[in-house]
């Protein structure tokens, strides 16, 4: 009798467990809002003003406004993405506000969660997918979570397939911090070259990558609009070549890097770019920076030369007016 009772209880437990799984799987998915709230529009204005002015110190106020708008309408994909962007910006340029608290790493967790929401609500926007992959990689690296790290890598591959003009840079940029002799870093450099090829419409010379012949292809329409400067990223073009030059220097190819850095000067707004002096310095010290970019953090501090990815302009090099 005791055995029968035990088996009955086990059967009930299994049934309840199965019911729980079914209940979770059958829960309705969130559906994106057809319109945006007035609060979200006002929060967006603060978001862009903060980002475009490079006002790192005002991230908390912008985050508070964007999060409030999200809580009012948690089905707004763009609001979710902007909350995620503020969290990742705070982490990416956290060197601006030393000393750092260990809790700064929580920004990666929050960013990943909000980009996950954005992708679920609007899977058609592959930019969100690229940012999700980036934050999965970041969070996985912080927590030594190999499963999440691999998930982030394959999310980035999916994002590249969906929108190569945008996500080849997103994915390549994320590999900037890998060791120069690693497979992932080499793949990141390859993605940057592919991004140039996709934007130019030709395969560029890997030794003399002069982008001048392709400047007439600048556009504000279609998929290739992200290859150039825009209202969203006023110095996207310059920032791209700063990062790519840094990656080539780290790889040891400082000669090609000098031409890549010089390509940034082709931008008609180069003279207004706040980080032109950084690029000029990297151009001048390209050969010496092979050692610096591959050395210890103390070496970079001593020289004053930092790769874009690990700098106080990791985001604002492209987005600050």
CATH architecture of 37-162: Alpha Horseshoe (1.25)
- For 134-181, the pLDDT digits (tens) are 999 999 999 999 999 999 999 999 999 999 999 999 999 999 999 999
Average pLDDT of the segment spanning 184-194? 98
- For 225-248, the pLDDT digits (tens) are 999 999 999 999 999 999 999 999
pLDDT at 70 over 90: yes
- The percentage of residues in the chain with a pLDDT greater than 70, rounded to a whole number, is 93
Cβ burial, residue 319 (10 Å; 0-12/13-18/19+): buried
Average pLDDT of the segment spanning 69-98? 97
pLDDT of residue 27: 80
- Bigger pLDDT: 299 or 174? 174
pLDDT at 302 over 90: no
* Rounded Cα distance, 116 and 125, in Å: 12
CA-based nearest residue to 237, from 294, 275, 187: 275
Cβ burial, residue 145 (10 Å; 0-12/13-18/19+): middle
CA-based nearest residue to 299, from 309, 290, 287: 290
Q: Which of 114-128, 145-159, 274-288, 302-316 has the lowest mean pLDDT?
A: 302-316
pLDDT of residue 25: 80
- Averaged pLDDT score across all residues of the chain: 94
- For 11-61, the pLDDT digits (tens) are 555 555 677 778 778 788 889 999 999 999 999 999 999 999 999 999 999
pLDDT of residue 11: 58
- The percentage of residues in the chain with a pLDDT greater than 90, rounded to a whole number, is 86
CATH 1.25.40.10 boundaries in the chain = 37-162
pLDDT at 274 over 70: yes
Q: Which of 2-16, 66-80, 276-290, 298-312 has the lowest mean pLDDT?
A: 2-16
pLDDT of residue 19: 74
């Amino acid at each position: 009798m005791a055995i029968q009772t035990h088996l009955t209880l086990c059967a009930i437990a299994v049934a309840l467990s199965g019911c729980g799984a079914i209940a979770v799987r059958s829960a309705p998915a969130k559906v994106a809002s057809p319109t945006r709230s007035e609060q979200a529009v006002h929060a967006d204005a603060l978001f862009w003003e903060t980002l475009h002015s490079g006002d790192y110190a005002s991230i908390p106020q912008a985050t508070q406004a964007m999060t409030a708008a999200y809580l009012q309408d948690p089905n707004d994909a763009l609001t979710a993405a902007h909350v995620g962007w503020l969290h990742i910006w705070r982490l990416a340029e956290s060197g601006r506000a030393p000393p750092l608290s260990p809790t700064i790493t929580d920004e990666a967790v929050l960013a990943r969660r909000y980009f996950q929401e954005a992708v679920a609500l609007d899977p058609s926007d592959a930019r969100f997918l690229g940012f999700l992959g980036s934050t999965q990689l970041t969070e996985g690296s912080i927590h030594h979570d190999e499963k999440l790290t691999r998930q982030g890598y394959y999310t980035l591959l999916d994002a590249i397939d969906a929108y190569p003009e945008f996500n080849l840079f997103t994915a390549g940029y994320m590999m900037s911090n890998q060791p120069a002799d690693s497979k992932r870093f080499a793949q990141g450099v390859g993605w940057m070259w592919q991004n140039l090829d996709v934007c130019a419409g030709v395969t560029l010379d890997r030794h003399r990558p002069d982008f001048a012949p392709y400047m007439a292809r600048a556009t504000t329409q279609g998929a290739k609009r992200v290859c150039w400067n825009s209202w969203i990223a006023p110095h996207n073009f310059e920032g791209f070549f700063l990062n790519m030059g840094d990656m080539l220097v780290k790889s040891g190819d400082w000669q090609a890097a000098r031409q890549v850095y010089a390509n940034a000067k082709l931008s008609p707004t180069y003279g207004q770019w706040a980080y032109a002096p950084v690029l000029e310095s990297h151009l001048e010290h390209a050969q010496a920076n092979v050692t610096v970019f591959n050395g210890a953090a103390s070496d970079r501090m001593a020289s004053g030369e930092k790769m874009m990815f690990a700098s106080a302009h990791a985001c604002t090099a492209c987005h600050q007016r």
